[in-house]
Amino acid sequence: MGVRLADLVEHLGGSISGDANLIVAGIAPLEHADASSITFLSNPKLRKQAGDTLAAAIIVKASDAEFLRDQFNGTLIVVDNPYAYFAKAAQFFAALTKQPIAVGVHPSAVVDPSAKIAASASIGPLVCIEADVVIEDNVRIDAGCFIGRGAKIGADSHFHANVSWHHDCRIGQRAIIYSGAVIGGEGFGFASEAGRWIKIPQTGGVAIGDDVEIGANTCIDRGALSDTIIEDGVKLDNQIQIGHNCFIGANTAMAGCVGVAGSAKIGRNCTFGGAAMVLGHLTIADNVHISSGSMVSRSINEPGQYTGFYPLAKNADWEKTAVIVRNLDSLRDKVRAMEKTIQALTESTNATPTKDLT
């Protein structure tokens, strides 16, 4: 079950300073690593701790390697980006212990005869696949998933158990969809007439690129007349809601519980902290970073980090400040009035001695 460091470097790059024939069994954080594992140092502040690690080898950048050569007896793997290298090494080790998947369609699955399912795909127990679905090579659909009519799933994708994937929604290659995700539910669209809601049929779909991850119980609604669009490399955590006709640019990542209302257009390489919310029909530029718990209520044209949540306090202190916030306009009015009074006082005080002097 071990991996020779030379083999790891052959696959993932980097240069070895030390024993290239060392065999390691896995990867572990600095403080838990032992002689059978490699570890990594990505934060220079942990240099000292890295010197004390029991790991067989450390993944480091060149500047830290310099420092560690005196402090650490083991082997160094010198790379440009130790954290990304750690991620790839962890994938490498995980692949070694991966359970083999049964290829083919489980007899308890219900598959429409018109569906085109690659011979290399794995369709789990109690899955339902409707008419005209296309499932490409090496796709894995776990137990209890529903794949609606006309959907298309790109090669090497993995749907975890109990995903609901609605008709005519498409996703590219290497997708990972977690349990309970609902893709292609109908958007929340109504016209109001005489106090009642008239449903607007949602006839668009959801079009998703390659290398997209969609978290557990996350929802992406289908578009009203055209598609909801998720570009390549987008990563969505759990419990996220993406409204109809949203556009999410490539490589944007959203943490858990984020909500994006309908028709919002979000740029590329953005990040959203947990429970951030975006109102509908807004536009957010590329490289915008929204902090957790923040409500985006206007479009953002300039890259940068944006925040908006009420600071936490002891409850009694919050009660005090909340009352003042609620009445901030009267505080501001007081300050304005005082400014005028002071202005008048200053003039009169300055005037008084002047008069006295004349």
Using the minimum distance from each CB to a second copy, give the nearer residue, 120 or 269: 269
Interaction with a second copy in 50-79: which residues (CB under 8 A)?
Answer: none
Using the Cα atoms of residue 315, residue 273, residue 207 and residue 95 in order, give the sign of their dihedral: negative
- Judged by beta carbon, residue 20 or residue 143, the one nearer a second copy is 143
357 binds a second copy (CB under 8 A): no
State residue 58 phi and psi, 5-degree precision: -125, 135
Q: Which of residues 140-179 bind a second copy (CB under 8 A)?
A: 142-144, 146, 148-149, 160-162, 164, 166, 176, 178-179
Angle subtended by helix axes 315-326 and 328-357, to nearest 10? 70
- One residue of 6, 35, 96, 338 binding a second copy per CB under 8 A: 338
| Segment lying near a second copy (by CB under 8 A), choices 44-52, 58-66, 69-77, 322-330 | 322-330
Nearer to a second copy, 71 or 171 (CB): 171
Interface of this chain with a second copy, residues 205 to 224, rule: CB under 8 A: 211, 213, 215-217, 219, 221
Which residue in 43, 49, 63, 346 binds a second copy (CB under 8 A)?
A: 346
CB of 149 to a second copy, least distance (A): 7
Sheet holding 57-60, edge to edge: 15-17, 75-78, 57-60, 37-40, 26-27
> Which residues in the 26-45 window bind a second copy by CB under 8 A?
27-29, 32
For residue 107, give every residue at least 6 positions away whose Cβ sits within 8 Å of its Cβ, in sequence order, or none: none
The residue among 67 and 92 lying less far from a second copy, judged by its C-beta, is 92
What single DSSP character describes residue 236? Answer: E
Q: Choosing from 160, 244, 281, 289, which is the catalytic residue? A: 244
317 touching a second copy, by CB under 8 A: yes
Please identify which residue in 14, 249, 256, 267 interacts with a second copy, judged by CB under 8 A: 256
| DSSP helix/strand/coil, 93 | helix
CB atoms within 10 A of CB 264: 22
Nearer to a second copy, 20 or 279 (CB): 279
Candidate residues 243, 248, 249, 270; the one interacting with a second copy per rule CB under 8 A: 243
Torsion of Cα atoms, 193 then 278 then 175 then 285, to 10° = 120
Q: 264 to 293, contacts with a second copy by CB under 8 A? A: 269, 273-275, 277, 279, 290-293
CA-based nearest residue to 121, from 161, 159, 178, 164: 159
Q: Which is nearer to a second copy, 157 or 239 (CB)?
A: 239
| Per-residue binding letters, 105-144, with a second copy (x by CB under 8 A) | -x-x-x-------------xxx-x-------------xxx
Chain positions 178 to 197 lying near a second copy, rule: CB under 8 A, are 178-180, 182, 185-186, 188-193, 195-197
Q: Of residues 1, 329, 354, 358, which one binds a second copy by CB under 8 A?
A: 329
Please tell me the distance from the alpha carbon of residue 20 to that of residue 33, in angstroms, as a whole number: 18
Closest CA to 141 of 132, 131, 155: 155
CA dist 22 to 16, 29, 61, 77, Å? 11, 19, 20, 12
d(CA 28, CA 7): 18
At residue 38, φ and ψ (nearest 5 deg) are -100, 160
State which H helix or E strand residue 214 sits in.
strand 213-214
Beta carbon of residue 298, minimum distance to a second copy (angstroms, whole number): 7
Number of Cβ within a 10 Å radius of residue 284: 26
Look up 244 and say whether it is catalytic: yes
Active site residues: 244
